[in-house]
Structure 1
Amino acid sequence: MLAKQAIRVLGSKLARTRGRKVRRFIAAELLSHSTLYCNAVKSLNKIESFPSQFPSYLAGTKLTEDQEARVQSTLQEFLIYLIFLLDLSILTFGMVNYNMYFFTKVMSQLFLESTSYINGINFNSINSMANFWEFVEGPMLRNIYWKEWYNGKPLYPGQSYIFYESILLGRPQVRQLRVRNNTCSVNEYFKDLIKDCYNEYSFHNEDQSPFGLKSGSPHSEYLQIVKIIAYFTDSKDQNMENFAIVHLVEIQGITNKNGMTTNKWKYSAPNHEFELWHWGKVGTYRNGGYIIELEKNKPATVKIIKYLKSKLWLDHGTRAVFVDFSVYNANVNLFCAIRLLVEFPASGGAVTSSEIYTVKLLRYVSKFDYFLAVCEVIFCVFIFNYVIQEGVELYCRKLSYFKRFWNFLDFSIVLLSIVAIFFNIYRTIKVNALLLNLLKNSNSYPNLYFLAYWQNRYNIIIAFTVFIAWIKIFKYISFNMTMTQLATTLSRCAKAILGFAVMFFIVFFGYAQLGYLIFGTQVDGFHTFGSCIFTQFRIILGDFNFSEIEEANRILGPIYFITFVFCLFFVLLNVFLAIINDTYSEVKDDKSLENVDFDIYEVLKRRYKNLLYKINPNMFPPVAHPTPGNKNAKESQTALQHDSERRLEFNLPMPMNMPHLHESNMPTLTNATL
């Protein structure tokens, strides 16, 4: 009864006691009444027998059975998740290595920075059609076809090696996209002066009809033959030029004096199996067009290029020219798909861009690759298990499943992983098919750009997957005080930040519109409204060239810059920081957040100490027990109290053979005493 009375009174007193000293408080109170120690220690070792008195004050102390089960389940789940994260990290780092960077850098320097011998033109400095032909005849052909060593001795016969190490796969391809004439409206004041009008590129304005040869076309000598054919076939085609070229190719099969058929002037339909379109700087383009496959040797290719240049293959209707080719380096087992794009906007001039994708398409070659294959199997097993778990939970909770942030992360990881698995299978099948076709017909263009492009998108999917997977670790460490304060701070200041964001973006977009209208025609960072937004973020971060807007407008440029920095940086940005700082201060002063369900760090620390005690029990030396006749009873009782505190901290059982004081010397147990 006394033990129950002590427990009951201690429970009421414990309800007013918080913090990590709960155990020491209980031990001190019980030791002050040593006659109750032996009867109450069992109840304290099973403190969950009275959870209704103080269930919420046990964080960092002895946990109830439910809490212990939760801790055990959380630790097991965390350990399994760490194994999954380790496996995913190995897969992601196995896809990318430093050789990819150097391979990409070498190709970039070779094809983008090499200059011509005449005017020093490189790819990035092309600004006209004449510059384009100079680049093609100079740096491009010179760097694609490597036939000899630096001392003049020939390389491997029959093959083209780039930088002596990378082999050219198949043939390079040049592709042109055009627009039709009279696709734009000419003002009536200039109709007598301007007869032709070619609008900017769009799918609607694209020209897909054959176009004629210029400057003394060799097809003119066959034009009379085609006209006779048209007369006898009663053709009503009004465009005799297009009719002639179609019949030259499809009916007569006539070749010109250089042995080349006229299909270089005929449109080839897009192949939707490989790619849909290409997003350039000026427009978005189909994957069809007027296609030319260059030869595998330099003399024949030079002959083709000179022929196309002399016959004006590029003219007013040209809006984009693509140069595609692929190389393979067996030393590092890497493919590199290179696409050079020159856009000719309706305003005139030329805009260049390039895409160089270095990817590893042949996955299983070395021993490490087979180790990655094992990791892929383990990854699939994990994803299959997570699909079942998340599927059951989604079925049970329906749409309420997405109300929890961690469930949303789990769903994202599973979804992205499934997409990655199916793409990996598809990629393997396609690579094998393309390489077999390349081996059978090495004199054609292999469309490895398609696979390299989607391999790059696959890498992006995996990158987001592993990023979300790392973020999910916060789920398991969110039980400690720091994470609780962080989450509470963000939740409490969310409304204030939302209101601030409305005010911030009103001012921000107003300045973006102002900069676009003032500097849009002169400064590259303001040439579109989207670029204005990114430029202003750069101004906030201090990465901006002030002289550009000052040269564009010596009066409005400085005014725009100074007012923007003052309003956005010095005022609004500091208001944003003040909102977070004030909320964080309130959260730190909130006493109700001092206790959490359990601190995973404290749990791991306690279990670590418990393991040390099991390994070396002598870390708790025996102490003298107080007796009525002992002169050092006070010192012994203090040592016993310290020993009990350490055992409670280690979550270890206490000895049941501890002697107690005589009842005559025991103080009376009252509420005031406790």
Structure 2
Amino acid sequence: MDFQRSIKYDSASNIKKSLLSILLYAIFLVVTTMVAVASRHHYLYYFNHAIKHHFMIYERHLTNHEWWQELREIYVPEVLESSKANEEHKAEEADREENEDENKNQTNTQSTKDELTILHENYLLGTPRLRQLRVEKEDCSVDRGFMASFNNTCYAVYTIWSHKTDGKHEESEYKSAHNLGTKPIDARMHTYWGGGFLENLNRKFERSVIIVKELEARNWLDRGTRLMVFEFIVFNSNTDLFNNVKILGEVPVTGGVIISLQANVIQKYALWTGSVWIILAAIIFYLISVYYIFKEVRATLREGWKKIVNYWKLVDSVILILIVLSFIYNIFHPVYLHYYLKGALEKKSEYHSLDFICWFNRHYMNLMAVLAFLVWIKIFQLFNFNKTALRLKATFLRCYTDLLNFVGIFLILFFSYAILGMILFGHAHADFYSFPIAFWSVMRMVLTDFDYAGVEKANTIFAPLYFLSFIIVISFILINMFLAIIYDTFREVKKVDMQPDKQLHDFFDRYWDKGKISVRMALNKIGLFKPTQPSKRDEPLREVVSDNEPPFPPTPKPERKVKVPKNEILDNFFETVRNKRDAEQVEILSQHISALEEILDKMSDDLRRLEAESPDPSTQPARPWYSRAPQRSKVFVKRHK
């Protein structure tokens, strides 16, 4: 998986090996995408969407009485069918099965006797239950006369330290998260840790309604309650999907109940279900992963751990670790749910929690998302033959320090505007009521997602100043400076002549020409391609001296090449360095040679640039021609005395 060592284009043999490595990684990329997408089937969304719309729950504020009323009149009847609905359902089933055999009728009545359905296709596993989380009592800091009606008792905001973890509340015992098999709940206001005070309901509708009325009469929901949970498990046998449904009622210290719904859908077999192509892709995915793991471990043992400091080596290590974790989970997931379903069908009078496997499944989804992202990002390591990719890589390597410094300035301004917005508008606007929400609202403002009307209602004086200053400072100045840094660096990189590997291009051209010739020969054999016949007027390339002499000289026979094994060449022409000191000197000499090669490459690049910058002598104007005068001849005269 280390493309820096396996992908080379310096010779024909290395190009062939590189193309095989690229082909293998392309197959790995395709099967990884299929496995990652299969973990999030589209039926998961439809099942979740159907449950939410069936109960018609949206986030709103209720009173305590309204919570008990909706629980008694809406939620419990929707989960547990009433007696009239059961009688009507049985009557319809009896009319439908009159014409069937008696044996089939007996088996159907026995199988549907204790089954409760939601939306006619989903079966209720076990019983629903009510659970609440409470906080400890504390003394009030106000006047005792003022708090006389509340018995001088106050309850704190929910935190992990104020969470009540023992005792009883209205004959309901507290049970820990370990005993209940629950996980923390991320609600609207807080993250509520597992455990709580329990009250199990019954599979019969009338009995469950009586239990709810008794809890309301005993004032089970009081000032110390911080979260009410009505939870049940639904199973769809058509798609082998489980749905862990929780109707939440948060009780803030300001009073009332904030109602919401959470539904976590998981598959029974995770990966080993669905289409045959998905299962085949999963098998190929893990086989290629085993090959990459073996190759990476062998390279690490040979080169040492110092080579892992490289960025791409770290990416390879993270990918392989995520693959191992995904394989472990895909073995554990179906085994766990097999025994879970078996126990839920045997013990229908108990609630069977799915929080444990839902928590693992949520993190498995995150794992597969990161894995698919890294596998796709690794494609950039292959672009050594593309000039644009080389320039892009060089641009980011040159300007990443400037970008990091600029991001620091960016974050400081974002924090400043988030704090300012939270203080100015947090009391009346939902996008600024807390600092994390305000920070992400400021991030959304960069993308022009901004509720100016709501902000102006919250603060009519500072809202225009806040909005205009943000647009000028962030949108007009900082974002353009960010783009200018990248553009200037790219322009500098573009001046440098980056020559990609041309041997790969020549390799493909050579095989393209061979392919065309072979196709022409094949078409010529079957008569679909006729080569052009030479005309009679064509003359030979040279004069024929005699009648028996051919017009073309005979081609010389190629010399016979003798294959010499590699070991023989090493033994005859190379000497093994056994002395440690000599080996160090050889290594130093090789480093000097590599440094000289780099210097020569730079000199050759400079010469090319100078040749490109120097004017072409053929384009210069010719010098004017002047006629030269003939040389004067010297005449010697003999003088006689």
TM (normalized to structure 2)? 0.73
Task: Tell me the amino acid that sits aligned with residue 196 of structure 1.
Answer: T
> Which of 355, 367, 374 is equivalent to 1:461?
367
> Which of 62, 79, 91 is equivalent to 1:127?
62
Partner of 1:5: none
Tell me whether 1:206 sits opposite 2:163 in the alignment: yes
Count of aligned pairs between the two proteins = 510
**Equivalent pair of 1:126/1:132 in contact (CA under 8 Å):** no
**Equivalent pair of 2:126/2:351 in contact (CA under 8 Å):** yes
Partner of 2:300: 394
1:599 Cα deviation after fit: 7.4
The SS at the match of 1:267 is strand
How has the CA–CA distance of structure 1 residues 303 and 365 changed in structure 2, closer, same or farther, with 3 Å as cutoff?
farther
1:138 Cα deviation after fit: 2.4
Partner of 1:639: none
Partner of 1:547: 453
Q: Which moved more, 1:341-350 or 1:164-173?
A: 341-350
Tell me whether 1:87 sits opposite 2:31 in the alignment: yes
Task: Tell me the amino acid that sits aligned with residue 167 of structure 1.
Answer: Y
Map 1:95-494 onto structure 2 (within 5 A): 95-111=39-55, 113=56, 122-146=57-81, 152-154=88-90, 156-182=112-138, 186-187=141-142, 195-211=152-168, 213=170, 262=171, 265-271=172-178, 274-362=181-269, 368=274, 372-494=278-400
Partner of 1:531: 437
**Structure-2 separation of matches of 1:401 and 1:349:** 60
> Which of 511, 515, 521 is equivalent to 1:611?
515
**Equivalent pair of 1:480/1:600 in contact (CA under 8 Å):** no
**Structure-2 separation of matches of 1:326 and 1:125:** 24
**Structure-2 separation of matches of 1:276 and 1:319:** 17
Task: Tell me the amino acid that sits aligned with residue 200 of structure 2.
Answer: E
**Structure-2 separation of matches of 1:413 and 1:610:** 39
Q: Which moved more, 1:560-569 or 1:439-448?
A: 439-448
Partner of 2:564: none
**Structure-2 separation of matches of 1:401 and 1:516:** 47
The SS at the match of 2:232 is strand
1:606 Cα deviation after fit: 5.1
1:608 Cα deviation after fit: 4.0
**Equivalent pair of 1:176/1:290 in contact (CA under 8 Å):** yes
**Structure-1 separation of matches of 2:237 and 2:352:** 17
1:628 Cα deviation after fit: 6.9
How has the CA–CA distance of structure 1 residues 500 and 209 changed in structure 2, closer, same or farther, with 3 Å as cutoff?
closer
**Structure-2 separation of matches of 1:338 and 1:582:** 54
1:90-124 CA distances to partner (integer Å, 9 max, x unpaired)? 3233333322221111111012x2xxxxxxxx452
How has the CA–CA distance of structure 1 residues 435 and 476 changed in structure 2, closer, same or farther, with 3 Å as cutoff?
same
How has the CA–CA distance of structure 1 residues 105 and 152 changed in structure 2, closer, same or farther, with 3 Å as cutoff?
same
How has the CA–CA distance of structure 1 residues 70 and 211 changed in structure 2, closer, same or farther, with 3 Å as cutoff?
same
How has the CA–CA distance of structure 1 residues 189 and 475 changed in structure 2, closer, same or farther, with 3 Å as cutoff?
same
The SS at the match of 1:470 is helix
**Equivalent pair of 2:272/2:279 in contact (CA under 8 Å):** no
> Which of 406, 410, 431 is equivalent to 1:504?
410
How has the CA–CA distance of structure 1 residues 149 and 483 changed in structure 2, closer, same or farther, with 3 Å as cutoff?
farther
**Structure-2 separation of matches of 1:489 and 1:626:** 58
1:131-185 CA distances to partner (integer Å, 9 max, x unpaired)? 3212211221232124677994436432211111111111112111111111x65
**Equivalent pair of 2:251/2:257 in contact (CA under 8 Å):** yes
**Equivalent pair of 1:364/1:370 in contact (CA under 8 Å):** no
**Equivalent pair of 2:182/2:355 in contact (CA under 8 Å):** no
The SS at the match of 1:305 is helix
**Structure-2 separation of matches of 1:464 and 1:206:** 35
1:540 Cα deviation after fit: 0.7
1:564 Cα deviation after fit: 0.5
1:500 Cα deviation after fit: 1.8
The SS at the match of 2:153 is coil
Partner of 2:11: 67
Task: Tell me the amino acid that sits aligned with residue 534 of structure 1.
Answer: W
The SS at the match of 1:159 is coil
1:384-418 CA distances to partner (integer Å, 9 max, x unpaired)? 22222222333444453333332222111111111
**Equivalent pair of 2:9/2:501 in contact (CA under 8 Å):** no
- Unaligned ranges ≥5, structure 2: 1-7, 94-111, 545-553, 557-616, 618-641
1:278 Cα deviation after fit: 2.5
Partner of 1:241: none
Partner of 1:596: 500
How has the CA–CA distance of structure 1 residues 586 and 308 changed in structure 2, closer, same or farther, with 3 Å as cutoff?
same
Task: Tell me the amino acid that sits aligned with residue 51 of structure 2.
Answer: M
**Structure-2 separation of matches of 1:212 and 1:492:** 64
**Structure-1 separation of matches of 2:543 and 2:422:** 94
Structure with greater contact order relative to length (CA < 8 Å, sep ≥ 6) = 1
**Structure-2 separation of matches of 1:210 and 1:356:** 30
**Structure-1 separation of matches of 2:204 and 2:272:** 31
**Structure-2 separation of matches of 1:126 and 1:172:** 23
How has the CA–CA distance of structure 1 residues 487 and 271 changed in structure 2, closer, same or farther, with 3 Å as cutoff?
same
1:273 Cα deviation after fit: 8.4
**Equivalent pair of 1:513/1:529 in contact (CA under 8 Å):** yes
Task: Tell me the amino acid that sits aligned with residue 197 of structure 1.
Answer: C
**Structure-2 separation of matches of 1:286 and 1:65:** 57
Q: Could you say what the CA RMSD is over the residues aligned between the two structures, in angstroms?
A: 3.2
**Equivalent pair of 2:270/2:333 in contact (CA under 8 Å):** no
TM (normalized to structure 1)? 0.69
**Equivalent pair of 1:477/1:483 in contact (CA under 8 Å):** yes
How has the CA–CA distance of structure 1 residues 157 and 475 changed in structure 2, closer, same or farther, with 3 Å as cutoff?
same
**Equivalent pair of 2:230/2:247 in contact (CA under 8 Å):** yes
**Structure-1 separation of matches of 2:9 and 2:51:** 63
How has the CA–CA distance of structure 1 residues 198 and 566 changed in structure 2, closer, same or farther, with 3 Å as cutoff?
same
**Structure-2 separation of matches of 1:625 and 1:548:** 92
Partner of 2:565: none
**Structure-2 separation of matches of 1:410 and 1:622:** 58
1:129 Cα deviation after fit: 2.0
Partner of 2:476: 570
